[in-house]
Amino acid sequence: MEVSIWACYNKIEKEGILFMRGNRERDILLHISENEYRTSQSLAEVFHVSDRTIRNDLKEMNEVLLHYGAEIISKPKIGNILHVKDRKKFQKYLDQLYQEDEENLPITSRERVHYLLEYLLHVERYVKLDDLCDTLFISKSSLSQDLKEVRKYLEQYNLKLVSKPNYGVRVEGREFDFRLCIANSAIERIVNKDMKKSQQSILKKIGDILQETFDKHAFKMSEVAFQNLIIHIFIAIERIQGNCYVPLEDEQLKTLQKEVEYGMAEEIVSQMEQVFSETFPDSEIGYIAIHLAAKKTIEIDNVMDNMVISDEVNETVSHMLEEVYEAFKIDFLDDFDLRMMLALHLVPFKVRMEYDIILHNPLLKEIKNRYTLAYNIAVAASDVLRECYHKEIKEDEIGYFALHFNLALERKKVNKRKKNILIVCGTGRGTAQLLVYKYKETFGKYLENIYTCDTMSVGKQDFNKIDYIIATVPIQVKVPVPILEVKF
C-alpha cells in the first residue's frame, strides 16, 4: 500500500461515502467549534497558508458536510462556526472519517518515506519529530532511519531537510525544485494506477487545453512527456493557490520571452485562467515555457520556425562520437544522420539539464535488455555530457540516446536513403565549393546531393528535395528543415 499524493488534493468517493479532500481540511474541522466563531485569518495562521486558501477549503468542506447533517456558517467580520443539524448522522461520518485515516496509515519503511515526503513537501512550518512519531506510531530511531531516505531523495532535487532544535524539521529550497520533486514523486507512484473521477476531470481540462494549443502550432511531444506536463501544471495550480510562485530573474524571463514556447505558454495560461479562475504571473508563464522547451519532440518534419543547431552543439556531438570510438572502436563519425539526430535531441536536453527536469523513459528496462550494446554506447557518450554540464546523466536520458545509437547500428547493416543537403555560405562561391568537397570527403556515403546557394537565394530553394541546411551565416528567412550552423 502506498499513500498517494492525490489524497492531498481532491475529494474522494469510496463506497458511497464522501470524505474531506486532505489532512488540512480534516484538521480544520477540529479547530471549528459549535460554541464560538473562528476567523479565516486565525485559521490561516495555524496552518501557515493564505486566508484565501482557508476560505476555499471551508467552501469545499461544506459541500461534504451538507450530506452528513452539518454545515459551516460564515459571517463577514465575525468568523466561522459549526452548525450540526443531525448529530447522529454527523457522528457516524466522523467515525468513518478517522477510521479511513487509520486504514491509510503507512506500515512499511518504504510507505513511511513516501508519506513523509508528501507531507513535508506540503507544509511550510517546522514539524516536530515527536508529532511525526505519534502520527506514524513509530519510535524516534525508526523515524530517523526513514528521514535519512527522505534526505537522499530530496538531494536529487537540490532540496534540504533542515533540522532545528526544539522546532523540528522542514524542507527548504527553490520553488522550482519543490515542484519538480512533488511532481516526479507523484509520477513515480501513480503511473498505471486508476484515478478518481474528480481528479480525471481536472487533468482532462488541462490536457484539452494543451492539446488544442499543440494542434494549433503543430507542436509535438511524446505521450509520456505530455502526461508528465499535465501533472506539472496540476501541481503548479495547487502551489499558486497556496501563494507559492516560481521566481524568475528579469534577464531569464526576457530570454524566455523571445522563444516560440513562451508565446504558446501565454495561450495555455490564458485558457487556464478562465477555466480555473486563477491568475498566473509572467514567471508562471515562463515556468510552463521551460517545460514545453524541455519536453518537445523535434523531428525533421516538425521544425518550428528555424530550428538552429549551434556550432557548440555540433562540437558536443563530435566529442560524443569520438568517445564512442575510443571505447568501442565503432566508427559513427561519418554517420551524418546520427549526427543530426543527436544534435536535435540535445536542443531540449540542454534545457532539461539547466533546470534539472527529468524526462521519464517508460522503455528503459526494455532498452537495457534488448539493445544492450546501444545502451552501453550511450553510457560512454554520456560521459562527455556529464563533463559538459557537470551533472550526472540519469538512466532515463541515456535510454533515449541509446535509441539513436541502435538505429545507427541498424543502418550499418542495410542501405539507408542518402540525404540531400544545402550549403549556404556568405563568403563567396569559392568557399562554398570547398565546403562541398569537405562534406563529400567526410560524409560521402551518406549524402546523395549537395546543393549550394548564397543567403539571398535561400527562400527560392525547393525544400522537397533538401533534408538539412549547413550554414556559415544566420538564415533570416523561414525554412522547413533543420539548420546546422558551422564555422568555415
Per-position DSSP letters for 53-113, written without gaps between them: HHHHHHHHHHHHHGGGTEEEEEETTTEEEEEES-HHHHHHHHHHHHHHHHHT---SHHHHH
Segment among 10-24, 146-160, 173-187 with least mean pLDDT: 10-24
Task: Kindly report the pTM of this predicted structure.
Answer: 0.65
Segment among 58-62, 380-384, 404-408 with least mean pLDDT: 58-62
Candidates 332, 340, 286; CA nearest to 313 is 340
The pLDDT, as a whole number, for residue 15 is: 36
- Residue 8: which pLDDT band, with cuts at 50, 70 and 90? very low
Q: What is the per-residue pLDDT across 307-363, written as a single tens digit (0 to 9) for each?
A: 778 889 999 999 999 999 999 999 999 898 899 999 999 999 999 999 888 888 888
Q: What is the per-residue pLDDT across 140-154, written as a single tens digit (0 to 9) for each?
A: 999 999 999 999 999
- Residue 386: which pLDDT band, with cuts at 50, 70 and 90? very high
Give the distance between the most distant pair of CA atoms in the chain: 94
Burial 343-373 (b: 16+ CB within 10 A, else e): bbbbbbbbbbbeebbbbbbeebeebbeebee
Answer yes or no: is pLDDT of 389 > 90: yes
- Give the mean pLDDT of the chain: 84
Who has greater pLDDT, 86 or 13? 86
The pLDDT, as a whole number, for residue 299 is: 62
Sign of the C-alpha dihedral computed for residues 348, 349, 352 and 354 taken in this order: negative
The pLDDT, as a whole number, for residue 321 is: 97
